[in-house]
Chain A
């Protein structure tokens, strides 16, 4: 079978993702893990894992440089890429929410200023409700924006809600739930069908054992 290249999102999902892959028979030696190499082979030699920033996972997979990837739905929605999603993985589960400072009402504004790392998701959400918004794209510390007057509210990812509370924000609305997805390139899916089928089966079996 041809070797599969799997792009794994660094950061939030990385450890959980690697643990799942290990249970599915794509384990990485601890030596390779502790090195700083960004492309490593698994111990069976069937897979090559590459570690890239979450937002770059869909890019590598869409171009077919990686055959598959493990990435959060939030990143996937934001990227607008055309990828197959044959498997939902119960990793990195969180909510995508609209949050505003405690005590502030958003309903009486003619237009909202929304600070977010997810401009596409935010604009689709408010667009669907016919609400005019100005999207202010930030790359981090989004929770600060409403307090400093940059925005009226934020759209962000929430896992426990602690960061929101600590920064005096409250959830107004849940836009959706995000968890990790296995994404696959359309051409690889056909051309390496056997290898991808084997990976899907192994992941499903690993998920069943975990549950």
Chain B
């Protein structure tokens, strides 16, 4: 075979055997949990207008999509996410449905430009949930509980960690300091890289020295309730306070449920400020080099489609989960019985026997050479 025909494009791959079954099993486990919390499955188009994703994900993320043109010259894309189309459906097709609207999905997404060297795939499978039409701590907590149940059911109970933040904490501080767009982005990058020393230097020209050092320390390390208490000691502004109040309300319930081992508060999670409007969270599992899931509140998204309503959602990366060393034991096969070999004196009898065995629910494997 020529090289061109045998080769597959970068970032694409096959799944088969135990690995394919494991993926299917993880997906089915998650989807059954979503159904258990009354989330309705939605399937969105694989090919959609590129402008949808520009509105839905922001220009930077949307630029990573595979793009091509329709017969009328409109720019199309292979979907780089599902949330954009789900939000559009909620604002249009499902506009008349009762709120809150609960949607879930399992779908491939495509990115021409991979996220990083470690996340080299250009096709990956996402499973996720969206809860649309409600902005309360209860709605936030529902998503965290659903995500948590997925990890519990996959027997990852003691091995996963969910970090929580509220982007309004950062936004409030940036506004309070009077930062322009460039300054805001510079501060965001320094926090995102956990570069406390340079952050402190950067802040020194805006804030009091002690304040700057304390803010740098707070955004460098995650922790439990003490992070919230320490953040309250900083110079306050109404937006950051609203963030801390909301996180505290969430944390109170987390403590009452005795879930605090699985959660951390991480005021330094500022990865996608252009997208999220409140709570954000990231999910990590022991022995995985990258996060396996993320989510948050995006109350601004559906406004792009003509109907403003709050929404919160999360997405899990099935490929990252499939590769977890801790999940290698999942085989996904229910073929505990050995395969039976149907027999018969002629072809008709062979198939009569095979069909009869299948009706008994037995697994068969035909011998075809006769």
Contact = CB atoms under 8 A, between A and B. Distances in A.
Interface of A: 59, 62-65, 81-88, 184-191, 193, 197
A186 B290 contact: yes
A62 B193 CA distance: 13
A63 B289 contact: yes
A99 to B, nearest CB: 27
Given A86-B194, A87-B197, A190-B284, A81 B291 contact: no
Interface in B281-332: 282, 284-286, 288-291
B290 A187 contact: yes
Contacts of A189: 194
Contacts of A190: 161, 163, 222, 264, 266, 282, 284
B133 to A, nearest CB: 31
B288 A85 contact: no
B194 A84 contact: yes
A88 B285 CA distance: 28
A185 B116 CA distance: 12
B286 A84 contact: no
Nearest to A2: B286
B117 interface: yes
A191 B161 contact: yes
Interface string B253-295: 0000000000010100000000000000010111011110000
Given A86-B195, A186-B291, A190-B264, A64 B284 contact: no
B220 A86 contact: yes
Contacts of A88: 195, 197-198
B284 A65 contact: no
A4 to B, nearest CB: 14
B145 interface: no
Nearest to A192: B286
B5 interface: no
Interface of B: 115-118, 161, 163, 193-198, 220-222, 264, 266, 282, 284-286, 288-291
Nearest to A181: B195
B203 to A, nearest CB: 16
Contacts of B222: 190, 193
Nearest to A184: B194
A85 B192 CA distance: 9
A187 B284 contact: yes
B20 to A, nearest CB: 24
Contacts of A188: 289
Nearest to A84: B194
Residue picked from B116, B264, B288, B289, most chain A C-beta under 10 Å: B289
A207 B359 CA distance: 74
Contacts of B195: 85-86, 88
Most buried by A among B117, B118, B195, B290: B118
A104 to B, nearest CB: 35
Nearest to A197: B221
Nearest to B120: A63
Contact of B118 (A63, A85, A87, A191): A63
B193 A185 contact: no
Given A62-B118, A64-B288, 10 more contacts: A63-B289, A64-B118, A65-B289, A82-B115, A86-B193, A86-B220, A87-B197, A190-B266, A191-B285, A193-B264
A62 B289 contact: yes
Nearest to B117: A62
Contacts of B197: 87-88
A50 to B, nearest CB: 15
B116 A193 contact: no
Contacts of A187: 284, 288-291
Contact of B117 (A59, A87, A184, A191): A59
B275 to A, nearest CB: 17
Nearest to B192: A84
B42 to A, nearest CB: 30
Contacts of A87: 197
Contacts of B291: 186-187
Contacts of A82: 115-116
B116 to A, nearest CB: 5
A188 B116 CA distance: 16
B193 to A, nearest CB: 5
A65 B195 CA distance: 22
A85 B222 CA distance: 15
Contacts of B264: 190, 193
A184 B222 CA distance: 15
